[in-house]
Amino acid sequence: MAHKATHQHTDPSSTQVPVVLFGVDQNGKPKAARFVEKHADLAAKAAAHLNLHVLPIVGSAVADLAGRLPAGRIHANGRGFVPYIRRDLYAKLVAAAGTSTSANSPSQQNGDLPKNWDEIGPGHVVIAQQSPDDGWFEAVVVETSGDMLTLRWRDYPRERRLTRNRIAVGLLYPNGDNLRTPAPAIKPSRSGSSQPHAPAETAYPKSWDDIAVGCVVLAKDDGPWCSWWEAIPTDQSGDTFSLQWRKVSDMPKIAQPNVARHRLTLGLLYPNKH
């Protein structure tokens, strides 16, 4: 018996080591679970039918990630088999499996952030809406055909590609690294202050310098999904804005009523179609 056990662990064709199953559902939501040795073969077979990836739990880095995942239930159906997980944890799984392109992500190079919508081309990073309920996420332009863009999600390169019109995507600030630290909260200004103010809620700024109270921009939330949503600046202190989410009822994942952001961390929507 001892010899058989040793053979199972050294045979490269054997799947009898703990494994992680991970992937996305039809709506692009990430899910993953860990399975113990005795269930590894069954889990791998199920993965082939469910379009999930199999990651052997080998090495301390993968073992640490696996320890943060829910345990899969081999005889369960639906969510019980491989539950949903946070997107940031899913991105780490993708990287551990060697499928991530984050090391060469276009977001790491300022030249790959387009300065305007006409300039958008292959390799550029933009912000695309996944759905009204799931928000917007960074995406890489794979190819263009006229005004139509073929995109892949920057942080989830194996998910299905999507197509968007160039004027339907948002832009990130192109002239420097985006500030990742949340801006401090600002106090509401007193009535009668002379802050710049957009003429109406439907004002869409043409540049980051044009962002003003009352316009519409994209802002990234602080939740685990790290998604972007439409927001309206309600107050300003220097280059920091206090914003309220434009349609809170459509955004169940967002708990905070308002946030503070530096103007260069905001995304712009195409200004001429609104």
Give the strand pairing for 217-220 and 162-165. unpaired
pLDDT of residue 105: 35
> CA angle, 212 as apex, 107 and 233 as ends, to 5°?
80
Please return the burial class of 19, using the count of CB atoms within 10 Å of its CB with bins 0-12, 13-18 and 19+.
Answer: buried
Token pair for 272: 């001429």
Separation between Cα atoms, residue 8 and residue 15, nearest integer Å: 9
The confidence score (pLDDT) of residue 43 equals 85
Asked whether the whole model's pTM tops 0.75, one would answer no
Domain 106-168 belongs in CATH node 1.10.287:
no
Across 101-119, average pLDDT: 58
In this model, does residue 106 exceed pLDDT 90? no
CB contact at 8 A, 239 and 264:
yes
Q: How many C-alpha atoms does 39 have within 13 Å on its Cβ side? A: 17
* Counts for the chain of helices (H) and strands (E), in that order: 4, 11
Rounded distance between C-alpha atoms, residue 273 and residue 265, angstroms: 23
* 149 contacts 163 by C-beta, under 8 angstroms: yes
- Complete DSSP assignment for 9-33: HH-TT---S-EEEEEE-TT--EEEE
Read off the amino acid at residue 178.
N
Ranges 17-31, 183-197, 217-231: which has the least confidence: 183-197
Mean pLDDT lowest among 62-66, 115-119, 189-193, 217-221: 189-193
Instruction: Tell me, letter by letter, the H, E, C secondary structure of 29-83.
Output: CEEEEEECHHHHHHHHHHHHHHCCEEEECCCHHHHHHHCCCCECCCCCCHHHCCC
* The pLDDT value given to residue 77: 57
Percent of the chain's residues with pLDDT above 90 = 34
- Looking up tokens 């905001």 gives 266
Residue 208 has pLDDT above 90, yes or no: yes
Question: In angstroms, what CA-CA distances link 171 with 63, 116, 120, 232, 247?
Answer: 37, 7, 9, 16, 20
The pLDDT assigned to 97 comes to 77
Task: For residue 111, give every residue at least 6 positions away whose Cβ sits within 8 Å of its Cβ, in sequence order, or none.
Answer: none
pLDDT one-digit tens code per residue, 158-196:
778 999 999 999 999 986 544 333 344 444 443 333 444
For the chain, the structural domain boundaries read 2-100, 106-168, 179-269
Residue 215 has pLDDT above 90, yes or no: yes
pLDDT of 78 reads 52
* Per-residue pLDDT, 187: 41
30-87 tens-digit pLDDT: 889 999 988 888 888 888 777 788 888 988 888 999 999 999 887 655 556 888 998 8
pLDDT above 70 covers what percent of the chain? 70
Is 24:31 a contact under the CB 8 Å cutoff? Answer: yes
